Amino acid sequence: MTFDQLRTLLVVRETGSALRAARVMGREQSSVQKQLDTLNRNSQTLCGEVLTVRQGRGKDYLFTPTGETTVELARTTFEKWLESIHWSRRRLGRMLTVGTTEFTLPIVSRAWDRVSEEFRQREVEFKVAHVRTKDLWSRLETRQVDLICGSIVSTPEGDLRLKEYEVIEYARGQALLLTNLPEAELPSTPVETSRLGGVPLVVPPAGLVADLLATWYGPNFRERLSVVADIDDVHYGLSLLRSGFVRGCMIVTGSIGRGMAAQDDPDAVPLRTIALHDDLEPRAELMTGAFVRRADLERYDATHPLNRLWAAVKEDVRTYTPLA
């Protein structure tokens, strides 16, 4: 049984037929069918049961219990094999994967400008992965990325999750309320975090803002707040407020809040920002930065692409005005 046969089996399982699998793989249908026949014949000899059964013209293949088990074994084999290959390429400095949220992309972009020519000459495969804030920790802890830029909720006591990471801090500060409510309805005086229950909020199900609210109000914060709209994306929330379709507030970072409030669009409902005064424990701030596993930096020498990129990020934070 070869890797190519196992790959064919996986594609047939995903597409349902030899014809569709052949199209995906750029092969003749007869070639795919020949491999299936060989797999079925060998499986019948070894296990006493074929892997796939034809169900008639136009119908998807039926996979037997042995076939389903073999598919899962093949999928696991390929995943582990690719993981091993990627790890070896990272160790040898042939590949580097960086994760970034939409709003921290400039950090990676500027650092890349400092090392891009060197990486091209060394033929380093450089990949950038879009990471949602809610997935930041899982991407790091599962080693899907080598370095990541994003924002987290930080408390004065420190985040225990950071003890195994090196951190370059770009900005730290309080969140803001962005609102389309008139001054008469919600004055511009700072709003205490303990009073957020009386403010109509547009809230995402996960991510930075959800982490912030959970820090103040616990994991069931929705039950203690007045949620007027649920959003999956910050841009949709901003559009809701600017359209006037929803009247309320969003908790946003300082840079987003000030940027939106400064926009002058006669066709949109005007937005303004209101400061938040944190009077709950634990006190929470938003911290934007770059994160890398300390063990990875120590494992490689100073010329390894990860250490070279980390040095470029350090240089960037000295040169550019921190994000707000």
Let me know whether 45 and 64 are in one domain: yes
* Domain count along the chain: 3
For 285, the token pair is 């701030």
pLDDT band, very low/low/confident/very high, at 321 (cuts 50, 70, 90): low
* Residue-range definition of the domain harbouring residue 17: 3-89
Whether the bond between 282 and the residue before it is cis, its omega within 30 degrees of 0, is yes
SS3 call for 2: coil
Look at residue 83 and tell me if it is in a domain: yes
**CB-based contacts of 48, cutoff 8 Å, min separation 6:** none
Residue 324 located in a structural domain: no
Distances (CA, A) of 165 to 25, 52, 97, 158, 295: 41, 48, 17, 13, 8
Do 147 and 200 lie in one domain? The reply is no
- pLDDT recorded at residue 158: 63
Do 73 and 97 have their domain in common? no
Phi, psi at 192, each rounded to 5°:
-70, 140
Q: Do residue 188 and residue 279 come from a single domain?
A: yes
Establish if 120 belongs to a structural domain: yes
Give the model's confidence band at 322: pLDDT under 50 very low, under 70 low, under 90 confident, else very high. Answer: low
How many degrees, rounded to 5, is the angle at CA 121 between CA 119 and CA 124?
40
Regarding whether 263 and 204 lie in a shared domain, the answer is yes
Tell me: do 85 and 101 sit in the same domain: no
Domain presence at residue 23:
yes
Query: Is residue 163 situated within a structural domain?
Result: yes
Return the exposure string of 35-54: e unless at least 16 CB atoms fall within 10 Å of the residue's CB, then b.
bbeebbeebeeeeeebbbee
Q: Which residues contact 70 (CB under 8 A, 6 or more apart)?
A: 9, 43, 51
Confidence (pTM): 0.71
Lowest mean pLDDT among 96-100, 248-252, 266-270: 266-270
Query: Considering the chain, what is the average pLDDT of its residues?
Result: 90
Task: Give the type of residue at 222.
Answer: R
Residues in a beta bridge with 208? none
The last residue of a domain, from among 39, 67, 89: 89
Q: Which residues pair with 288 in a beta bridge?
A: 151, 171
d(CA 229, CA 248): 9
Q: How far apart are CA 268 and CA 286, in angstroms?
A: 28
- Does position 149 have pLDDT exceeding 70, yes or no? yes
